[in-house]
Structures are given as C-alpha cells and as structure tokens.
Amino acid sequence: MRSLRIPVAAAAAVALLAAGCSSSASKSDKTAESKKDVTISVASLIPGSTKEATTQFNNQVAEFEKAYPTIHVKSVQYQWTGPTFAAKLAAGTLPTVFTVPFTDGRTLGANGQLADLTAQAKKLPYFGKFNPGVIAEATTSSGKVIALPTAAYAQALHYNRKLFTQAGLDPDQPPTSWDQVRADAKQIAAKTGKAGYAEMGKNDNSAGWILTSLVYALGGRM
C-alpha cells in the first residue's frame, strides 16, 4: 500500500491538552504559591495500557519533576467519553491536565471552563511552529490559548499498487484529483472486479468522522 494526499480532501483531527480553571488569586498570592510545593493530577494513559507505555509516561514525569522540583505529578488513568467527560466537568472532578477532542477546545474555552495558557504557551520555543489551522482550534475568539495540540494528523487516500497494475494503471502515477480517482476506480472495478474506491466502515466512530470530513472537503455539509 502507498498513500497520497489529494489537497481537496485534506482534513485534520487532533487531541488537545487542556487545563481546568482554578479560582482567581492576587499577584502576591500567586508569588507565594509559586514557592510552595504543589501537586497536580495529569491524565496519563487509558485503562489497559501496556507496561511499556506506563514506563514511558513515568519517565516523562520524572524528567518534568526534575526540571520543576516544586511540582509533583499525580498520574490519573483517563479516557475521554462524551457522557463521563460532561459529568466530571460539571462535578469538577477532572484531572488538572486532561485531553479533549479537536472540536471541543474552543467551546470549552469560550465557556470559561479551561485555563488561559496564553503566556505559558507563547514562551515555548516551538510555539511558532504549530500548524496555524491546528493551533487555531486551541485558541478562543478573543485570542486566548486554552489548549495545546498533541496528536494532529491528516487524512490520506491509500492505493494498492498491485491492484493498479492488475487494472492496467501505472502505480507510479497515482491520481492527483477526484476526477482521476473516479476514473481509476471505474477502471479497477471493470478490470479486476474489486472495489475501485472504498471508505472505512467499521462501527467504531471512525466511519462517521471520515465521511463527515470528506463531505465538508467536497463542499457539502452534514
């Protein structure tokens, strides 16, 4: 299998790392607090993660705590689901630092449910390297950065070189437009009896968001 990106079909998804809000404090209070030891709860791994993944996360915690000796990290197993997230958000029982889907950051930030990370985020040496379209989803309409992207990725169209050859197509010249995809798909179906074009259809939410982003990329709306 090889993959290619057709510009009109580009779409991104991302996990956003966010921090819950805390009550406001005076400048003098914050200065005093910064000198004290604090413990924060951080969403770590989903339940059932491998031993190797757990070790890797713990190593990251150790590295962080070495750099910031007054901050202690409490690891909390966490997996985002709509019903449990909404309930924990309302109850104030989410970890201090947690992840949210790409589509939720702006709304939560606009509602005042995420902390303003603008000053801290812009001090990061790599902040300017974030994809503008991705960091925009972690920024409110007033310009506040309320989350940081951790897992952005783009959709791609994969093609089977062997199937291309069997259909009399050149696998070194894959389609670069939807018109070409349509023409090649018809030829593959006619020559091989196999599906010339297919999308993911597993009932695990993958099919839904792939179809949705494709529809939007082609000018439609859901």
Which tens digits make up the pLDDT trace of 110-146?
899 999 999 999 999 999 999 898 899 899 999 999 9
d(CA 99, CA 194): 40
pLDDT tens for 37-94 read 999 999 988 888 999 999 999 999 999 999 999 999 999 999 888 889 989 999 989 9
pTM: predicted TM-score of the whole model, two decimal places: 0.64
Question: Looking at 110, 132, 153, which one is the last position of a domain?
Answer: 153
Question: Looking at 153, 171, 202, which one is the last position of a domain?
Answer: 153
Joined tokens for residue 26: 């005076």
Residue 61 lies in domain? 12-153
Q: Which of 80, 87, 83 is nearest to 18 (CA)?
A: 80
User: What contacts 199, CB < 8 A, 6 or more positions away?
Assistant: 207, 210, 211, 214
Q: Kindly report the CATH number assigned to the domain that includes residue 100.
A: 3.40.190.10
Q: How many CB atoms lie within 10 A of CB 48?
A: 8
- With respect to residue 115, please indicate whether it lies within any of the assigned structural domains: yes
Question: Looking at 105, 123, 153, which one is the last position of a domain?
Answer: 153
- With respect to residue 195, please indicate whether it lies within any of the assigned structural domains: yes
- 73 and 50 within one domain: yes
- 199 and 144 within one domain: no
Q: Quote the number of domains for the chain.
A: 2
Give the model's confidence band at 16: pLDDT under 50 very low, under 70 low, under 90 confident, else very high: low
- With respect to residue 1, please indicate whether it lies within any of the assigned structural domains: no
Give the model's confidence band at 30: pLDDT under 50 very low, under 70 low, under 90 confident, else very high: very low
- 194 and 108 within one domain: no
- Cα–Cα distance list, 205 to 7, 16, 135, 202 (Å): 24, 19, 24, 8
- With respect to residue 222, please indicate whether it lies within any of the assigned structural domains: no
- 98 and 81 within one domain: yes
